[in-house]
Amino acid sequence: MIKTVIKRNGSAEDFSASKINGWSEWASKSLGGLVDWSSVVIEAVSQCPETCSTIDLQKKLIDVCVSRRSWEYNRMAGRLYASLIKRELYGDEYPTVQELHSTMFNDGLMVKLNYSVEEYKQINKIIDHTMDLKYPHYQLNQIRYKYALRNKVSKQEYESAQFTFMRMAMALAENEKTDKLLHVQKYYEHFSYSRLNAPTLNYTNLGTVLNGYASCCLYTTDDSAKSLATGDHIAYMMTCNSAGIGTHIKTRSIGEPVRAGMIPHQGKLPYYRAMVGAVQANLQNGRGGASTVHYTAYDPEVEVIQKLRHPLTPEAKRISGCHYSFGSNKFFARKVAKNEEYAPFSYLGNPELYEAQYIADSTAFEDLYSKHEQTATKKLNAREIVVSALTQAYDTGVQYLHFTDTINKHTPFKEKIYSSNLCQEVMLPTKPFKDVQDLYSDESEGEIGLCSLAGIVVSNIESDEQYAEVAYYALKMIDTCIHKSDYPFKSLEKTAKARMSAGVGIIGLAHLMAKKGKQYSDIEGLNFIHELSETHAWHLINASLKLGKELGNAPWISKTKWPDGWLPIDTANKNIDRFTTVGYKRDWGQLRSEIIANKGIRNSVLIAHMPSESSSISMGTTNGVYPIRELNLMKTNDTLTNHWSAPDGTKLAAKYQQAWDISSSDLIKCYAVIQKFTDNGISADLYVRLEGSQKVSSTQIIQDYLDMVKFEMKSRYYVNSKTSSGLNLGDEPELCESCTL
């Protein structure tokens, strides 16, 4: 039992139960009577020594609340934590925004922002520190230890959550010519009210000397020593710039001739190892870089590549430092459905056929393939290959899928797309560089794909008008960051500013679905997702049109279909309409006319649904478009652990549909509906429960694959398994006659 407490000034006084009761009762206000504050006090006091500091006592109250594992107790912990952060960082009074910025500038953490003393005074009236009291504990903790500026060596802290949001808002609006403070206020409020979700790099770099903001980088190489070396340099430098890497290495296969047969080629594996070394040589915010290698079913080395991370692969042959994405097209899927053999081909031996697999119309591919098949000596069973690739997803967790024809069909881009990014939601044109020197020239014909991300927290949007405004500021934020960025290569700066590629996703879908009483697995839920996805696309396209009128269209907009009036609904898969019963709610014809009249829009591409595993925590919501896995989870990122609770989890417990209770078939349909309105892609996860005697059969995983092809998903990200007991592949692939395309 506590007898003595040590105050912040070092003085001691007798323990007063009334004071701790007052703290806890205050912290439980506005939580609807769903917390028992008195029991929190009793448990906390019982765990403290006889002499205890007031700070340690407050931390113990927070720990007890967090350990109760519910949304309301996490909110109570948040109120206590917000008060604690203020006391630990600032004492009794918050500094003004200008005072804090001056301190951080003098300490080398910030640059001077373009604001006058009078503007700083007005900004100080905008910031609202009471907003911290509305956040759950994990939201404050994520911002404090991952996003707020700090000296990571001395551990000196500077920013509470509201100061972090204000720094971002001011950095984004500092060069506005008109309504500067209005833009500051809009950015700040959308961040603070958890409507506009920014990527990690915006949190950590805005207002500092670091000006790298692109989340995603894609590149391809050509089949030459210099081009392959250039790819390694791209991977190295872009990892230094905090981008995740999507890799497509275009080269010949093992044993094929080099220099007229003087040297047998070593195949792709040595180049994968070199790329992994380049990526892992650098750290990003304390962790290693990451990359996804894209290969296809037609690669002669496919059987080896798909098992490079498998624990049973001999260690000397294993390449575990990257992720892998298995590519295929509809022609291959038909071979799978019919349980037929197919003939792989190499880039060196069949360059036209290789390139044809990345064309939306399969006619050219099939004509070239039929000629190749007549003379091919190597044949593989398509079903066995796809089962092997798909089971790797369960065994290793990082064997993804991409569909080479669909990514080149359902897109605004006219030029060829070879791959996705690290997380499989961004598909952009890339062109190989001939030499490293080409990277540093703005005359190069090569191109790195670069995409800047943002998210709209749909569960916190209060009206259609507010959705439109948040969409506008999401794209405006991306626009500003593209132009603020420092680029490691001249060629990249040129193409990034010419393309203006954006990826704005939906965040907090599971929370919104629970609030509306909708399920992922029924027709009402699919109709709701259809309407929301249409709303999302509608507002973003309109926002890009508005920005195009204000700032000018993307310089390379002519390389897209937008000037012709293209809309995502034009190339969407028609099979999707079989399982939704709602039509369009928006006047797409009018919007098409406006786009044509404006000769395009501000951005080459607009929508990508990212995982937001980290940034969604800073918004206090559910991540991306995914269903929740549990009502309460421990989320670990780098060295930071957060005890996450689903928003309104107690009140909406019966409304939240957990991912493990949604079949792959139902979730694929949800993703297909979202993809209908998405010009880029989706980090589309699947979930499978493998508890006890529950198994997954080859029949099921093949049918899931064929459904993804049928409904034209562009990619599939993780397959998450709950307490795996192994895969049941007892029904041999040749017996799976029920699998259809």
What does the pLDDT look like over 504-518, one tens digit per residue?
Answer: 999 999 999 999 999
Please, which residues have CB within 8 angstroms of residue 316's CB and are 6 or more apart in sequence?
none
Collapsing DSSP states into helix, strand and coil, what is residue 227? helix
Rounded Cα distance, 1 and 12, in Å: 16
- The per-residue pLDDT for 283 is 65
- The per-residue pLDDT for 1 is 77
Please, which residues have CB within 8 angstroms of residue 698's CB and are 6 or more apart in sequence?
387, 391, 727, 729, 731, 732, 733, 736
**DSSP code of 144?**
I
Q: Which of 160, 157, 166 is nearest to 192 (CA)?
A: 166
Rounded Cα distance, 399 and 290, in Å: 14
133, two tokens: 């009291």
549, two tokens: 């009128």
Q: Which of 279, 147, 139, 145 is nearest to 205 (CA)?
A: 147
Rounded Cα distance, 410 and 604, in Å: 14
How many CB atoms are closer than 10 A to CB 476? 23
pLDDT range class, residue 30, cuts 50, 70, 90: confident
- The per-residue pLDDT for 734 is 42
Name beta bridge partners: 506.
Answer: 456
Rounded Cα distance, 313 and 297, in Å: 19
What is the average pLDDT score of the chain? Answer: 94
Residue 241, burial from CB neighbour count under 10 angstroms (0-12, 13-18, 19+): buried
Given a cut of 90, is residue 376 above it in pLDDT? Answer: yes
Buried b (16+ CB within 10 A) or exposed e, 360-370: eebeebeebbe
Side chain identity, residue 710 = K
- The per-residue pLDDT for 8 is 86
Rounded Cα distance, 120 and 65, in Å: 37
246, two tokens: 């999507």
Collapsing DSSP states into helix, strand and coil, what is residue 589? helix
Q: What is the pLDDT of residues 548-577, one digit of tens each?
A: 999 999 999 999 999 999 999 999 999 999
Name beta bridge partners: 688.
Answer: 721
pLDDT range class, residue 316, cuts 50, 70, 90: confident
| Phi, psi at 315, each rounded to 5° | -55, -35
Given a cut of 60, is residue 724 above it in pLDDT? Answer: no
Rounded Cα distance, 237 and 62, in Å: 42
pLDDT range class, residue 737, cuts 50, 70, 90: low
What are the CB-based long-range contacts (under 8 Å, 24+) for 88-94?
A: 88/55, 88/157, 89/157, 89/158, 89/159, 89/160, 90/160, 94/129, 94/160
Crossing angle for the helix pair 382-396 and 698-710, nearest 10 degrees? 100
Q: What is the pLDDT of residues 612-639, one digit of tens each?
A: 999 999 999 999 999 999 999 999 877 8
How many CB atoms are closer than 10 A to CB 729? 15
- The per-residue pLDDT for 285 is 60
- First-to-last CA distance in the chain? 69
Given a cut of 60, is residue 732 above it in pLDDT? Answer: no
Q: Which of 436, 419, 445 is nearest to 216 (CA)?
A: 419
Please, which residues have CB within 8 angstroms of residue 235's CB and are 6 or more apart in sequence?
219, 245, 247, 275, 278, 279, 289, 291
| Phi, psi at 210, each rounded to 5° | -85, 125
Percent of the chain whose pLDDT exceeds 90: 89
Residue with tokens 């003595």: 4
Average pLDDT over residues 426-431: 98
Side chain identity, residue 726 = G
Average pLDDT over residues 703-715: 97
602, two tokens: 């501000």
Q: Which of 496, 505, 529 is nearest to 612 (CA)?
A: 505
CB 711 within 8 A of CB 575: yes
Q: What is the pLDDT of residues 72-112, one digit of tens each?
A: 999 999 999 999 999 999 999 999 999 999 999 999 999 99
**DSSP code of 325?**
E
Length of the chain: 741
